[in-house]
Structure 1
Amino acid sequence: MGNFATFTAVCALSLASTAALAETVWDMSVVWPEGNFHTQNAMAFAQAVNEATDGEVTITVHSGGALGIKGPEAMAAVRDGLVPIADVLLNQQVGEAPVLGIETLPFMAPSMSELALLHKFYRPKLEEIATSMNQKVMYLVPWPGQAVYSPNKIEKIEDMKGLTIRVVDANGTAFFEALGATPIQMPWGEVVPSLAAGTIKGVTTSSSSGVDGAFWEFTKNMNTFNWQASSNMVSINLDAWNELPLETQATIEKVAAQMEGQFWLNSRAEDAKKLAVLKEHGVDVIAPSSDLQSALMEKAMPLWDEFKKRVPDAAPVIDAYLAARD
């Protein structure tokens, strides 16, 4: 009986220890397919968090919009606790906070190095907005530069006249209207069906998404304008975050900080890899001529001032970045 009592006590202690280390399980919403590099980054982050917390925090990544949350709904879904964590395409959140349109201004930050500089001024504003929307930023990762997929080669601005083209946000609408095209805003989930139906003839998106959508089935031209920067944010609901012990929070923040740089490198590598895939499938990848580049910039720059007037709290961020860049 004494041995049994000892055994019972050991079991009780074991159960108490297990309860003390109770696992936190978070479902993470990602709209991109499993093979997309943002999804792969999220899966790597989830694994690293699980390992760093010794299994205390488990993040289950649900790709392809499996949780029923569309891209433009992602930030609100985290705010409202519909999901504790999500991968959020920031240029689809301007309806929640117009200032989030800063990095999508045409040719504001066309290279990864310029985007990194912009983020020095932009990220504090983003984190302020995230906090006001009941969430915490874990990491930011850019997409490869935004190209223009079209049925015809674009050698001059006039070649875009009347082109029905998918864009993501108001900045894209304004820019392509200035170029004479007919932009239509739509989330990623509607793009391929719209191409198949002929609702749109062109798409502005990255090389990565071009491969995700097998765009070679619809168009044979990709024009590498790199006209718009675009980043994804992974954020966590603050109520869920605050339930974690401070030590666990610090551990997860450290994981995110350590991995973010590699995720940026993954984006750069992704572009080269996916451009090669597009070419293998017969897509003609074309860089703009210097004349076309100058003409595009001429159309883009007035939109910066218009944006600053429309969204006054964006002006200090933009002006500080441009001063540092110049």
Structure 2
Amino acid sequence: MTFPMLKPLAGALVAAAFALPAQATSWDMPTPYGDSVFHTQNITQFAQDVATATDGELDITVHSAGSLFAHPEIKDAVRRGLAPIGETLMSRLANEDPIFAVDSIPFLASSYDEARALWAASRPLVEEKLAAQGLTLLFAVPWPGQSIYTKAPINSTADLQGAAFRAYNTATERLAQLMGAVPTQVETGDIPTAFATGRVAAMITSPSTGVSSQAWDFTTHYTDTQAWLPKNMVVVNTRALDALPEDQRAALMEAAATAEARGWEMSAAETASKMATLVENGMTVSEPSATLAAELAEIGETMTAEWLEAAGAEGATVVEAYSDTMQ
């Protein structure tokens, strides 16, 4: 016996199955900083841009403030595939290769124009180093220039002799040593507690971090050294990237380019805004004295020479390309 209605019904079911939307890909994205930090805000917008461009087929959930992985763990978590995408401070990888520390050499690039030129000169090599670990660079955004926070005015490095100085990478450790201070590793979220308990007495960081940690509660003076503009990188596991459909990959890369351009603009706007907030909350903001400026410039020359020795021919190529751009 035949049932003539079954064939049209079967055809309708098959058509309906093909009409169902593809299952969305969900990515968890660890980031080190809180929601009030402009880097996190930029990344949140990046995730929204990706969702919009892919009609929700690629959904990135941002886990801020180290809530998914602590900052030191994020890069390896992405490399191992424990998270497909994440953000980290580039200079945190300096122990792996000195190229990752190029943006943290004091006074090599101490303005946004200089930082852009240095990034253009160093990006291809950074991408190559990451690719060797199965990582793809999506974008990088700088912090505002790094300046010194203390509990009293400083006129020379002698005022920092023996002081416990917050460090967050090898460059800040070396800077503290050359200033005669004692480097102490402290994560961003632990800054207030470290000062309150006496673990540190001074630090060099951006006005952004100063405001987010409410530096006026434990320091009184901000010396505007603008030593360097370190960058945060957003990296993706290359296998996870390659597994995406081509249109989603293209949307992700386009959103990344937009996020980098937007992030640099946000960083520049951040500097004046956050310095004004420091003043509003009672901090004394001042330029470095002539003595301190000269001492820090000498330290910068020392650290540039040390970096070039460590980075070898690759480092020399980057610095030469940067210098040619700035001439």
Answer yes or no: same fold by TM over 0.5.
Answer: yes
Contact 1:149/1:223, CA 8 A, preserved across alignment = yes
| Deviation, structure 1 residue 227 | 1.0
Contact 2:78 2:84 in 1 (8 A): yes
Report the AA paired with residue 16 of structure 1: F
Q: Contact 1:70/1:187 (CA < 8 Å) preserved in 2?
A: no
* Shift in alpha-carbon separation, 1:76–1:7, aligned structure 2, 3 A: same
Select which of 13, 16, 25 maps to 2:15.
13
**C-alpha distance in 2, partners of 1:163/1:109?**
27
| Equivalent residue number for residue 238 of structure 1 | 238
1:17 aligned partner, one-letter code = A
Q: Which has the larger radius of gyration?
A: 2
* DSSP 3-state at the match of 1:123: helix
Distance 1:206 1:4, change over 3 A: farther
Find the counterpart in structure 2 of residue 86 from structure 1: 86
Q: Residues of 2 paired with 1:137 and 1:120: CA distance? A: 14
- The equivalent residue for 2:316 is 315
SS of structure 2 residue aligned to 1:311: helix
Give me the whole-angstrom Cα distance separating, in 1, the residues matched to 2:232 and 2:281: 27
**Paired residue for 1:268?**
268
Q: Which residue of 2 aligns with 1:30?
A: 31
> Cα offset for 1:305?
1.2
Secondary structure at the residue paired with 2:20?
Answer: helix
Q: What letter matches 1:36 in structure 2?
A: V
| Distance of 1:165 and 1:8 partners within structure 2 | 73
1:118 alignment counterpart: 118
Equivalent pairs counted in the alignment come to 324
In the TM superposition, residue 71 of structure 1 has moved relative to its aligned partner by 1.7
Q: How far 1:233 moved relative to its partner?
A: 0.8
Separation of aligned partners in 2, 1:78 and 1:145: 28
- CA change 1:236–1:159 in 2 (3 A) is same
Name the stretch that deviates more: 168-177 or 114-123: 168-177
Q: Which residue of 1 aligns with 2:326?
A: 325
Please report how far the alpha carbon of residue 180 of structure 1 lies from its aligned counterpart in structure 2 after TM superposition.
1.6
Query: Per the alignment, do residues 14 and 165 of structure 1 end up closer, same or farther by CA in structure 2, a change over 3 Å counting?
Result: farther
- Deviation string 1:237-264 (CA, Å, 9 cap, x unpaired) is 1111111112221222122213321210
Does residue 44 of structure 1 match 2:45?
Answer: yes
8 Å CA contact 2:150, 2:202 repeated in 1: yes
Give the Å deviation of 1:205: 1.0
Deviation at 1:323, TM superposition (A): 3.3
**1:93-108 to 2 correspondences below 5 Å:** 93-108=93-108
Partner of 2:301: 301
Q: For structure 2, which runs of at least 5 residues remain unmatched after alignment? A: none
Per the alignment, do residues 181 and 244 of structure 1 end up closer, same or farther by CA in structure 2, a change over 3 Å counting? Answer: same
Instruction: Tell me by how many angstroms 1:23 deviates.
Output: 0.7
1:203-214 matches, cutoff 5 A: 203-214=203-214
TM-score (norm 2): 0.93
Give, in angstroms, the shift of residue 8 of structure 1.
6.8
Aligned to 2:141: 141
Judge conservation of contact 1:71–1:92 (CA < 8 Å) in 2: no
Contact kept? 2:32, 2:71, Cα under 8 Å: yes
User: In structure 2, do the counterparts of structure 1 residues 7 and 149 end up closer, same or farther at CA, with 3 Å as the change threshold?
Assistant: farther
CA distance in 1, matches of 2:28, 2:133: 19
Gaps of 5+ in 1: none
C-alpha distance in 2, partners of 1:217/1:77? 34
Contact 2:223 2:285 in 1 (8 A): yes
Q: Quick one: which amino acid aligns to residue 320 of structure 1?
A: A
**Is the alpha carbon distance of 1:159 and 1:54 closer, same or farther for their aligned partners in structure 2, counting shifts above 3 Å?**
same
Please state how far the C-alpha of 1:141 moved relative to its aligned partner. 0.3
Tell me if structure 2 keeps the 8 A contact 1:71–1:188: no
Contact conserved, 1:177 with 1:183, CA < 8 A, in 2?
yes
Aligned counterpart, 1:61: 62
CA distance in 1 between partners of 2:276 and 2:60 (Å): 32
Give, in whole Å, the separation in 1 of the partners of 2:134 and 2:142: 23
- Call closer, same or farther: CA 1:23–1:32 in 2, change over 3 Å: same
State how far apart, in whole Å, the 2-side matches of 1:317 and 1:286 are: 33
